[in-house]
């Protein structure tokens, strides 16, 4: 008889897999209450470190060519495809759904990466514009990444919700600190392992597991965070981050689990440039 | 004898200011609750112009109710093309009455007639004309095939471009099928009230546009009103943050156009004479009461002295004085409170060791005036390099390399505007790419157009106004 | 102060130090200055100043002694009914009419009015240097106190800046102290404002006393942005060398409004020091009558009629 080698579920910050600086972990169990794992319980200091990593990665990621970003997002899909069974096992274990349903969720998540991969080099053409101003000026508007985004993934989905959250944010050139579903965090860590082997530069995606209510206020008030995806917050947590987020006028949105270009645009700024036309 | 221009005052006979104005609610002028009024003055002379109704929260209730009824019974049911025709009508009436609006704006605001005549009023009309054409094309606005308006929009505008800001707010809101409750600034309510008459002349259905005058408490009543679906605000970053907090947890969305501390970057190969003009336009247009003003001049160090000599010579030719004089370049500061703020901040500049310079100019004895002012020897640590002065005060800093220019330009919580002056095309695009600002003027400054989106990064606000992007913000789910 | 010698490296080296001109910005500045409103006492001053700056011009193939004498009379007494009207700045004619003009001016009270001759194979400039030399010498010998030469635009546009420079310097040497040299850039053929700025400096460095926009035979001529750029050039040249060079817009300035806009440009760009006929001239013919009619309007309080000014 062989004893399974079980995985230690750690955080994903700046391309590395540290434990929480606090040394804390919390217990995850299945629907019947059976123990599954002890993922790391991220602290505000882990959040802080992740923000530093995300900020450092932003300049390179946002100035990478859109084609390059698209290829990397597609690479994530490729790597995930090979890990399908691992994701399925984790979804079955944590969500308690049938393997077929779990597999459907994984496939949808993979296809979502493919969909957003294609958006990377089209969002500017579709949502940018040349503007017909009166006068001898060339005037154009382009969407650009807003910067560093903290994203609270939906609580009821272990993988698909997380991909709905992360993919549009990084497709637009942002870097992200994703806070996984509190009760369903295992796929998030496995996803980070896929990301780490997908040519994605370290720090572009950072994934924290832990207690949402503990991390939300720190994210809301962090002045280096430019925007928040609040999809995974309760209405009172949502209100709280909107109030504290007003201190630096964070762009805060929350979404239904649907794929739409408006999700990219929610984390993009429109930059308009004027130049005279003369000889 | 030298060539002194004799005064060329624009006649005020085209304007008939009433002794008192009511609130414009449901197509009629009504007194405020309890008949409360406040006075509006001409900041260039401190002369009383009119008494204006002071809207209490219960008056705001009435306005919101009128807007709601107009939305559900009339405006949302009207074919889009017909809705557009009302906007075209308004645009035309603004053009017909342009001189009247220009003179009234200059009297109530203090800005030069040359600017109201050539910029504010023509652009306001252009905004209505531009958005009129959008009304029946909303499915092309990038917000899905059947975009929906928010409903009733509460709009609060500042005193720096009273009618123009009104048009930036009302035109897209109406084009997309929303109805509005708009509050003009306390010190500049008159052109908004004259606009109410334009709505009447245009036959706009009652309640589609409601105008409530008052102060910050009136604005707060709008922001907090449960009957309002969206807030559009232009004003200070502090108030903007307050609005963001106030609507947290509600269903309201918001567009915020807030403050700025725009960097105007001059490289060594800039077209120097036009650059000087651009710097002047950047900071002295509208007395510097411009959120996107180029208030931080970043000059490549090797041309600093040459540029400053030319700039100071040019500033010495700025004509400060009677805003109604067609030859005036720099008018009055809008209020005594604003003048006080400008004085405080410039005093801090001197205290912190920057060098202050103004040309000699005779400021009128009555009214609120501040001379064109330049601070040299400013560094990023100075208060005058960080805080928005909102007056005719330029802070001059230097840089050595393009990277350093970008670092300094972006080193601010604001991100509204920036300028780039260089003859080198690739450097323009490199610099524009790296600037964190929503509006970038390269080899020009302070240009505005209804087709061009306007709005800021970071603490300069949320969303855009103008162009397709600004329109989308008035449709549900639009970004 | 010698900012460049006649060698190509020196000329090109200097012209490279000049700032580029942004056309849209320059046009915007000129347009803004055109909105200056000049009224009452300022207008009356400006009209007389403009009259005294006119180079009253006839440059037609059909010019005759009779025509030239007529404009000389007009130059001396622009308004026969009003002796307070100043005389014009100069008479500007073709070479063969110089003597006629000089003698008639002398005989009719116009001794103070110089005669300017268009020279150097005006308007095209397409002649040998020897011909240009003779043209200039002949004009001076016949009484021209001002020489309006054209630059070789072909040479300028082909990059032969040495030829342009040397020709100006050579003609200047012929003028010596006998005649003022006005150098016509023919800005309508140089096309860009960058070229206008470069040609202005080339002319000033080679010895021009005045830089002049146009021959009047090419359109566009003295547009406001062109004059703006030339005024900036003389202003900056003065800063650099301490010498004030004059400016002469010519072509297309027909109304009082046009002329006053020119004066506003001068006042706000080069400065009030340039507001005199020694440093600013306007090459025109029809302009004078419009100035006179506006002057009558200011004097009489009602609009003047065209039959009350003389057609010459």
**Residue C312 CB partners (closer than 8 Å, separation 6+):** C70, C71, C73, C74
User: Starting from the edge strand earliest in sequence, which strands make up the sheet with B230-234, in order?
Assistant: B28-30, B23-25, B209-211, B179-183, B152-156, B230-234, B253-257, B461-462
Q: Does C180 map to a domain?
A: yes
Q: Closest approach of chain A CAs to the CA of C193, in angstroms? A: 8
In this predicted structure, the answer to whether residue A202 has a pLDDT above a threshold of 80 is yes
Do B150 and B59 belong together in one domain? yes
* ipTM here: 0.97
Q: How is residue B330 written in tokens?
A: 């720099």
Two structure tokens written together for A211: 């207690």
Of C208, C287, C278, C225, nearest in space to C251 by CA: C287
**A:C CB pairs within 8 Å:** 15
- If asked whether residues B248 and B295 sit together in one domain, one would say no
Q: Is C182 part of the annotated catalytic residue set?
A: no
Does C240 lie at the interface with B, CB-CB under 8 angstroms? no
Distance CA B279, CA B296 (A): 10
Range of the domain at C200: 8-300
The reply to whether C32 touches chain A by the CB within 8 Å rule is: no
Return all residues near A134 (Cβ < 8 A) that are at least 6 apart: B126, B449, B451
Asked if B145 has any chain A CB less than 8 Å from its own CB, the reply is no
Q: Does one domain contain both B176 and B317?
A: no
Is the pLDDT confidence value at A31 over 90?
no
Local structure of C304: helix, strand or coil: coil
Residues in A whose CB is inside 8 Å of some CB of B read: 63, 126-127, 129, 131-135, 137, 139, 141, 146, 226, 235-236, 238-240, 242-243, 245-249, 251, 262, 265-266, 268-276
d(CA B336, CA C75): 57
3-state DSSP call for residue C118?
Answer: strand
pLDDT on residue C155: 98
Contact C22 A276 (CB under 8 A): yes
Residue in C35, C49, C229 nearest the CB of B114: C35
Q: What is the pLDDT of residue C1?
A: 61
Whether C312 maps to a domain, the answer reads no
At A126, give phi and psi (nearest 5°).
-80, -40
Residues B299 and B162 in one domain: no
Are residues B416 and B314 located together in one domain of the fold? Answer: yes
Look at residue B11 and tell me if it is in a domain: no
Residues near C235 by Cβ (< 8 Å), separated by ≥ 6? C269, C270, C271
Q: Measured between beta carbons, which residues in chain B are less than 8 angstroms from residue C229?
A: 273
E strand or H helix at C212:
strand C210-212
Q: Does residue B155 belong to any structural domain of this protein? A: yes
Q: Which residues contact B403 (CB under 8 A, 6 or more apart)?
A: none
Q: What is the pLDDT of residues C245-277, one digit of tens each?
A: 999 999 999 999 999 999 999 999 999 999 999
Domain encompassing residue B145: 20-258+458-472
The answer to whether residues B318 and B182 belong to one domain is no
Percent of chain A with pLDDT over 90: 97
On average, the pLDDT of chain C sits at 96
Contact status of A139 with chain C (Cβ, < 8 Å):
no
B138 part of a folded domain? yes
CA-closest candidate to residue A10, choices A196, A246, A201 = A196
Answer yes or no: is C17 within a domain. yes
Chain C residue with CA closest to B9: the answer is C37
* Residue C3: inside a domain: no
Q: What is the CATH number of the domain that holds B422?
A: 3.40.309.10
* Rounded CA separation B63/B53 (Å): 14
- Nearest Cα to C297, choosing from C252, C254, C257, C251? C257
Tell me the helices (H) and strands (E) count for chain C, helix number first: 13, 8
pLDDT in tens, B129-188: 999 999 999 999 999 999 999 999 999 999 999 999 999 999 999 999 999 999 999 999
pLDDT at residue number C132: 98
CA separation for the pair B285, B330 (Å, rounded):
7
CA distance B232 to B455: 12
Task: State which residue of chain A sits closest to C26, comparing Cα positions.
Answer: A278
pLDDT in tens, C24-79: 999 999 999 999 999 888 999 999 999 999 999 999 999 999 999 999 999 999 99
Q: From the centroid of its chain, how far is CA A150?
A: 8
Q: What pLDDT does residue B462 have?
A: 98
- Tell me, yes or no, whether B174 and B217 share the same domain: yes
Which residues of chain B are within 8 Å of residue A276 when distances are taken between CB atoms? 443-444
Q: Is the pLDDT of residue C2 over 80?
A: no
**Helix, strand, coil share of chain A (percent; to 5):** 45, 20, 35
Q: Is residue B450 in some structural domain?
A: no
Q: What are phi and psi of C92, to 5 degrees?
A: -120, 120
Full set of structural domains in chain A with CATH: 35-276 (3.40.605.10)
Q: Please write down the HEC assignment for all residues of chain B.
A: CCCCCCCCECCCCCCCCCCEECEEECCEEECCHHHCEEEEEECCCCEEEEEEECCCHHHHHHHHHHHHHHHHHHHCCCCHHHHHHHHHHHHHHHHHCHHHHHHHHHHHHCCCHHHHHHHHHHHHHHHHHHHHCCCCCHHHCCCCCCCCECCEEEEECCCCCHHHHHHHHHHHHHHCCCEEEEECCCCCCHHHHHHHHHHHHHCCCCCCEEECCCCHHHHHHHHCCCCCCEEEEECCHHHHHHHHHHHCCCCCEEEEECCCCCEEEECCCCCHHHHHHHHHHHHHHHHHCCCCCCCEEEEEHHHHHHHHHHHHHHHCCCCECCCCECCCCECCCCCHHHHHHHHHHHHHHHHCCCEEECCCCCCCCCCCCCCCEEEECCCCCCHHHHCCCCCCEEEEEEECCHHHHHHHHHCCCCCCEEEEECCCHHHHHHHHHHCCCCEEEECCCCCCCCCCCECCCHHHEECCECHHHHHHCCECCCC
- Are β-strands A175-179 and A148-152 bridged in parallel, bridged antiparallel, or unpaired? parallel
Phi, psi of A233, rounded to the nearest 5 degrees: -100, 150
Q: How many CA atoms lie within 13 A of B334 on its CB side?
A: 22
Cβ-Cβ contacts under 8 Å for B58 (sequence gap 6 or more): B33
Q: Please check whether residue B1 lies inside any domain of the structure.
A: no
For residue B1, the model assigns a pLDDT of: 58
Q: What is the CATH number of the domain that holds C128?
A: 3.20.20.70
- Round to whole Å and give the CA distance between C65 and C73: 12
Q: Is the dihedral of CA B468, B470, B471, B474 positive or negative?
A: positive
Tell me: pLDDT of C121 over 90: yes
Q: Is C212 a catalytic residue?
A: yes
Secondary structure (DSSP) of C24-60: HHHHHHHHHHTT----HHHHHHHHHHHHHHEEEE---
Contact between C213 and C191 (Cβ < 8 Å) = no
Closest CA relative to residue B436, chosen from B418, B463, B454, B452: B418
pLDDT of residue B2: 74
How large is the angle between the packed helices A66-82 and A160-171, nearest 10 degrees?
160
Q: What are phi and psi of B448, to 5 degrees?
A: -135, 150
Q: How far is CA C183 from the centre of its chain?
A: 9
Examine residue B451 and state whether it is found in any structural domain, yes or no: no
Domain count, chain C: 1
Q: Would you call the peptide bond into C152 cis, given omega within 30 degrees of 0 as the criterion?
A: no
Q: How many Å lie between the alpha carbon of C260 and the closest alpha carbon of chain A?
A: 26
Residue B310 belongs to some domain of the structure: yes
B182: CATH: 3.40.605.10
Residues of B labelled catalytic: 257, 291
Written as six digits, the tokens of A22 are: 């606090």
Domains in chain B: how many in total? 2
Q: How many Cβ atoms are within 10 Å of B6's Cβ, its own excluded? A: 15
Looking at the domain assignment, is residue C295 inside a domain? Answer: yes
Q: Identify whether the C-beta of residue B126 lies closer than 8 Å to the C-beta of residue A133.
A: no
The token duo for C164 is 């342009």
**Do B385 and B278 fall within a single domain?**
yes
CB B454 within 8 A of CB B417: no
Question: Tell me: the pLDDT tens digits for B270-286?
Answer: 999 999 999 999 999 99
A255's CB contacts (< 8 A; 6+ apart) are: A164, A165, A229, A231, A263, A266
Query: Is residue C309 included in any domain, yes or no?
Result: no
Cα-Cα-Cα-Cα dihedral sign, residues B84, B90, B94, B97:
positive
> Is B306 near chain C, with CB under 8 Å?
no
DSSP C282: E
Residue in C closest to A137 by C-alpha: C24
Q: Tell me whether residue C217 is one of the annotated catalytic residues.
A: no
The tokens describing B251, both together, are 């269903």
The maximal CA–CA distance of chain B, rounded, in angstroms, is 69
Residue that has been written with the tokens 């809008």 in this structure: B334
**Nearest C-alpha neighbor of C261 from the set C24, C16, C29, C22:** C29
3-state secondary structure of C133: helix
Whether residues B65 and B202 fall in one domain: yes
The verdict on a CB contact (< 8 Å) between A136 and C24 is yes
Quick check: is C276 in a domain?
yes
Residues of chain B below pLDDT 70? 1
Sheet containing B47-53: which strands, arranged edge to edge? B20-21, B47-53, B37-42
- Is the link from the previous residue into C123 a cis peptide, with omega within 30 of 0? yes
State whether B338 and B243 are in the same domain.
no
pLDDT tens for A210-236 read 999 999 999 999 999 999 999 999 999
Provide the token pair at B204: 């706009």
């Amino acid at each position: 008889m062989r004893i399974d080698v079980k995985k230690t579920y750690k955080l994903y910050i700046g391309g590395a897999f540290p434990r929480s600086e606090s040394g804390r972990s919390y217990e995850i169990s299945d629907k019947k209450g059976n123990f599954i794992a002890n993922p790391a319980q991220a602290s505000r200091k882990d959040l802080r470190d992740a923000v530093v990593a995300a900020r450092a990665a932003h300049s390179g990621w946002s100035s990478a060519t859109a084609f390059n970003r698209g290829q990397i997002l597609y690479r994530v899909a490729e790597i995930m495809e090979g890990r399908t069974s691992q994701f399925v096992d984790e979804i079955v274990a944590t969500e308690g759904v049938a393997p077929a349903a779990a597999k459907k969720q994984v496939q949808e998540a993979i296809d979502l990466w493919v969909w957003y991969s294609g958006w990377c080099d089209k969002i500017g053409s579709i949502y940018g514009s040349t503007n017909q101003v009166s006068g001898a000026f060339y005037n154009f508007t382009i969407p650009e990444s807003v910067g560093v985004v903290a994203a609270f993934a939906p609580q009821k989905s272990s993988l698909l919700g997380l991909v709905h959250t992360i993919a549009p944010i990084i497709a637009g050139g942002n870097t992200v600190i994703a806070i996984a579903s509190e009760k369903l965090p295992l796929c998030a860590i496995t996803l980070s392992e896929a990301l780490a082997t997908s040519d994605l530069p370290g720090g572009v995606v950072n994934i924290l597991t832990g207690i949402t209510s503990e991390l939300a206020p720190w994210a809301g008030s962090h002045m280096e965070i430019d925007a928040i995806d609040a999809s995974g917050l309760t209405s009172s947590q949502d209100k709280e981050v909107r109030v504290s987020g007003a201190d630096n006028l964070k762009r805060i949105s929350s979404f239904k689990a649907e794929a739409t270009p408006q999700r990219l645009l929610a984390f993009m700024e429109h930059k308009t440039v004027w130049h005279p036309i003369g000889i | 004898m030298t060539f002194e221009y004799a005064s060329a005052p624009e006649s005020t006979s085209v304007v008939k200011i009433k002794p008192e104005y009511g609130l414009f609610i449901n197509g009629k002028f009504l007194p405020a609750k309890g008949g409360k009024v406040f006075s509006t003055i001409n900041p260039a002379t401190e002369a009383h112009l009119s008494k204006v109704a002071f809207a209490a929260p219960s008056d705001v209730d009435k306005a919101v109710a009128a807007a709601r009824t107009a939305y559900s019974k009339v405006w949302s049911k009207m074919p889009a093309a017909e809705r557009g025709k009302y906007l075209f009508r308004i645009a035309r009436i603004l053009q017909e009455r342009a001189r009247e609006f220009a003179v009234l704006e200059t009297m109530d605001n203090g800005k030069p007639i040359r600017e109201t005549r050539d910029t504010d009023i023509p652009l306001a009309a252009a905004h209505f004309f531009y958005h009129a054409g959008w009304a029946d094309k909303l499915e092309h606005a990038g917000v899905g095939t059947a975009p929906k308006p928010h409903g009733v929009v509460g709009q609060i505008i500042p005193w720096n471009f009273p009618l123009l800001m009104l048009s930036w707010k009302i035109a897209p809101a109406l084009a997309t099928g929303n109805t509005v409750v708009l509050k003009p600034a306390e010190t500049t309510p008159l052109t908004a009230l004259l606009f109410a008459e334009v709505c009447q002349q245009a036959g706009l259905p009652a309640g589609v546009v409601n105008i409530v005058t008052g102060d910050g408490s009136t604005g707060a009543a709008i922001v907090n009103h449960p009957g309002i679906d969206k807030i559009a605000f232009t004003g200070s970053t502090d108030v903007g943050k307050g609005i963001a907090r106030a609507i947290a947890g509600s269903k309201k969305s918001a567009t915020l156009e807030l403050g700025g501390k725009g960097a105007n970057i001059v490289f060594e190969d800039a077209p120097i004479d036009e650059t000087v003009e651009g710097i002047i336009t950047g900071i002295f247009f509208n007395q510097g009461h411009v959120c996107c003003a180029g208030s931080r001049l970043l000059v490549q160090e090797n041309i600093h002295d040459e540029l400053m000599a030319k700039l100071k010579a040019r500033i010495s030719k700025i004509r400060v004085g009677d805003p109604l004089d067609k030859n005036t370049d720099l008018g009055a500061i809008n209020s005594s409170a604003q003048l006080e703020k400008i004085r405080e901040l410039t005093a801090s500049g001197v205290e912190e060791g920057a060098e202050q310079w103004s040309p000699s100019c005779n400021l009128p004895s009555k009214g609120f005036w501040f001379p064109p002012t330049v601070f040299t020897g400013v560094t990023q640590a100075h208060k005058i390099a960080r805080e928005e002065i909102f007056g005719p005060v330029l802070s001059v800093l230097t840089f050595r390399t393009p990277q350093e220019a970008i670092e300094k330009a972006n080193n601010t919580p604001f991100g509204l505007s920036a300028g780039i002056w260089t003859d080198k095309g690739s450097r323009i695009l490199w610099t524009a790419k790296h600037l964190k600002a929503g509006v970038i003027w390269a080899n020009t400054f302070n240009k505005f157009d209804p087709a061009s989106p306007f709005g800021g990064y970071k603490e300069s606000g949320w969303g855009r106004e103008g162009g397709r992007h600004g329109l989308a913000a008035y449709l549900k789910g639009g970004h | 102060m010698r900012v460049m010698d006649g060698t190509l490296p020196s000329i090109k080296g200097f012209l490279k130090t000049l700032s580029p001109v942004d056309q849209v910005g320059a046009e915007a500045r000129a347009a803004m200055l055109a909105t200056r409103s000049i009224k009452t006492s300022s207008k009356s001053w400006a009209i007389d100043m403009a009259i005294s700056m006119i180079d009253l011009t006839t440059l037609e193939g059909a010019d005759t002694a009779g025509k030239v004498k007529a404009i000389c009379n007009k130059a001396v007494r622009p308004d026969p009914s009003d002796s307070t009207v100043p005389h014009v700045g100069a008479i500007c004619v073709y070479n063969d009419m110089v003597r006629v003009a000089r003698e008639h001016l002398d005989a009719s009270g116009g001794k103070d009015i110089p005669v300017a001759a268009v020279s150097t194979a005006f308007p095209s400039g397409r002649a040998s240097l020897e011909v240009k030399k003779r043209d200039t010498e002949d004009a001076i010998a016949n009484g021209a106190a001002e020489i309006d030469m054209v630059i070789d635009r072909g040479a300028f546009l082909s990059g032969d800046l040495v030829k342009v420079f040397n020709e100006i310097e050579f003609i200047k040497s012929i003028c010596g102290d006998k005649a003022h040299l006005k150098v016509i850039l023919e800005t309508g053929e140089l096309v860009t404002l960058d070229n206008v700025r470069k040609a202005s400096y080339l002319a000033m460095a080679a010895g021009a006393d005045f830089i002049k926009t146009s021959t009047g035979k090419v359109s566009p001529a003295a547009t406001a942005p062109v004059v703006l750029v030339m005024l900036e050039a003389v202003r900056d040249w003065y800063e650099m060398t301490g010498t004030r060079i004059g400016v002469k817009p010519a072509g297309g300035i027909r109304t009082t409004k046009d002329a006053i806009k020119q004066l506003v440009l001068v006042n706000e760009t080069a400065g009030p020091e340039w507001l005199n006929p020694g440093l600013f001239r306007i090459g025109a013919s029809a302009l004078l009558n419009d100035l006179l009619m506006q002057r009558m309007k200011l004097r009489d309080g009602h609009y003047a009629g065209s039959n009350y000014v003389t057609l010459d």
